[in-house]
Amino acid sequence: MDTRDDSVLVSAVKNGAPADFGVLYDRYFEKIYRFIFYKTFSKETAEDITSDVFHKAYERLHSFDPEKGTFSQWIYRIARNTVIDHYRTVKKTVPIEDAFDLGEEDRTIEEHDALIALDRVREFMKSLTPRQREIITLRIWEELSYKEIAERIETTEDAAKMAFSRAMKELREKCGPMALLVLTALIFSDSLPFRELS
């Protein structure tokens, strides 16, 4: 396993060792793919956008300036913008902040079923801002630390903590006590791993 720092690998690629981009690719492929999947909920769309992100990163590596941020921040920014651009191109008539509500027709039946199950959460999450949703998925689904979240959304660790707690607070207020009762029942009816919580 190559343990060289991202910045060292970037320099190597810039200095004529393009194969070292393969190390960066191996390091970031899954992270970027998951990041995009959670924004699109479509395997096909996630693959298309992931492909575009890595091509862009490879081609534009010369423009990456390590003094302005880390490679991680840079490639996540490309991913975020590419998701927005993708839906802007495909759905010109839909105002887009993120792709949380889009891409229905691209999904397989299994993905669609998973999405229906997710709808109960989405009902409430839709009322949050795209940035709040991103923080929630990064913390709860990706299990990233606040430091990692801060790097990805380009803010400070404290700001990431505050943004997460504020998002959860809003979610709780929007759900209301009755909805939470239903949600809790759902957890224990169709998600066995969480029975231990009771």
Partner 1 sequence: MDAAQIEKLVDELMQFDPSLNNNEADLRSIVALIVAKQPHIEIDTSFRETLRERILAVQPQAIVSPYAKLSWWAVRLAPIGAVALLILTLIPGGTIHAPTTTVYDPSPAQSDDVGITSTYSTMDAPEGTEGEVATAPSVATQDQIPSPSLKSSFADDSSMMRMESVPQEPLPFSILAQLPGMSVTVDTVTTVSPSFIVVYRTDAGGNEQLAGISPLIMPGTTKGVPVYLRQRSHIGEYYTASLVSDNGNRIFTEGEDMVLYDSYGNPYTLGFEIVSGYFE
Rg (CA), the chain: 19
Which residue from 77, 95, 93 is spatially nearest to 35, judged by alpha carbons?
Answer: 77
Half-sphere exposure of 86 (CA within 13 A, CB side): 26
What are the tokens at 44? 């096909």
Is the CB of 94 or the CB of 118 nearer to partner 1? 118
Dump the DSSP string for 61-123.
GGG--GGG--HHHHHHHHHHHHHHHHHHHH-TTS--S-STT--GGG--HHHHHHHHHHHHHHH
Residue whose CB is less far from partner 1, 95 or 177? 177
CB 187, min distance to partner 1, A: 5
Smallest separation, CB 5 to partner 1 (Å): 20
Closest to 57 (Cα-Cα) out of 37, 31, 39:
31
Of 25 and 94, which has the nearer Cβ to partner 1?
Answer: 25
Q: How far is the CB of 95 from partner 1 (least distance, A)?
A: 21
Min CB(25)–partner 1 separation in Å: 6
**CB 75 → partner 1: shortest distance, Å?**
13
Taking every pair of C-alpha atoms in the chain, what is the biggest distance, in angstroms?
61
Residue nearer to partner 1 on the CB measure, 84 or 115: 115
Cα gap 142→44, rounded to integer Å? 20
What CA–CA distance (Å, rounded) separates 150 from 24? 20
Residues that bind partner 1 (CB under 8 A): 13-14, 16, 18-19, 21-22, 25-26, 29-30, 33-34, 37-38, 41, 43-44, 47-48, 50-52, 54-55, 58-59, 61-63, 111, 114-115, 117-118, 120-121, 136, 139-141, 143, 161-162, 164-166, 168-169, 171-172, 175, 177, 180, 183-184, 186-187, 190-191, 193-194, 196-197
Least Å distance, CB 102 to partner 1, is: 15
